[in-house]
Amino acid sequence: MVMRRQLGGRTMQRGVRRRRGGFRWQIMLLFAIGAGVYYFANQKEVPLTGRKQLRTMKPAQEMQLGLQSYQQILSDSKVLSRGPVVDAVQEIGRRLKRAAAPEDPGFDWAFNVIESDQANAFALPGGYTAVYTGLIPIAENEDGLAVVMGHEIGHALAHHGAERMAQQNMQRIVGAGVSLGAGGMDMGAQRAVMGVFGGISQYGYALPFSRKHESEADYIGLVLVARACYDPREAPRLWERMGQAGGATPPEFQSTHPSPQTRVNDFKRWMPEAIEIYNASCPDKIR
């Protein structure tokens, strides 16, 4: 039974929970200002594209982390020491390394082949590069393999790993502000606010940035391929093959990578510039 008492002509009801407040925008604003200061105080320029990026880690730190990861991956893998594929990867690596010299921040560089069914390759900060044998049938030729390796090296030259870490730090700052701002709301409302923030972070920030990184690495890789005197026209053909080999893919807005067709279209758009670089770098192979 609810007890009631009169106070100043108003009926007060014991046992009724006091209503909680709304979102505290002042707290959110303070954290947003902090995130803005963090962002603008740590701007760097991406080589070749000139894009401004958020980055706090020094290249030497990146390279140390890259080397540690590379050594761990190689120790857990079957690394091939000889053979035609190893020779091709080593030669392509040497030529791409020379092509990247103007943008090279002092990488140690290494090129290895890992026996695996994965159709993949990677390049870690420091130029630590590996190609999986499962990629070879799709690459089909040295030009196609150079396109993939150039793309991966493009990620390393653009410091994309360090940029992702800095972006995650900024998201955590904003997320803490949202969480504290919603702290005065009831639990259901707090969950709803954090759910909306998570969706915006994922689809409005993290995934678009990931796709931008992939496109930027495509462009940088294409420039390196052309400088190294591999045929840049193989790039769209390679991604047509990648699209056929990859099967069904999620909608682009849900993916970390642009769709194969988007990449093909980008390469075709960049191709006049790539051919110009190729002709200037390789006068004996003018297209």
Residue type, 272: P
Angstrom distance (rounded) from CA 219 to CA 197: 32
* Residue listed under structure tokens 């690495």: 217
Angstrom distance (rounded) from CA 48 to CA 158: 9
Tokens of 115: 């026996």
Q: Measured between alpha carbons, how far apart are the two ends of the chain, in Å?
A: 91
Query: Is 152 tagged catalytic?
Result: yes
CA nearest neighbour of 271 among 224, 227, 242, 233: 233
Of 62, 152, 163, 214, catalytic:
152
CA nearest neighbour of 19 among 179, 186, 180: 186
Residues acting as catalytic residues: 152
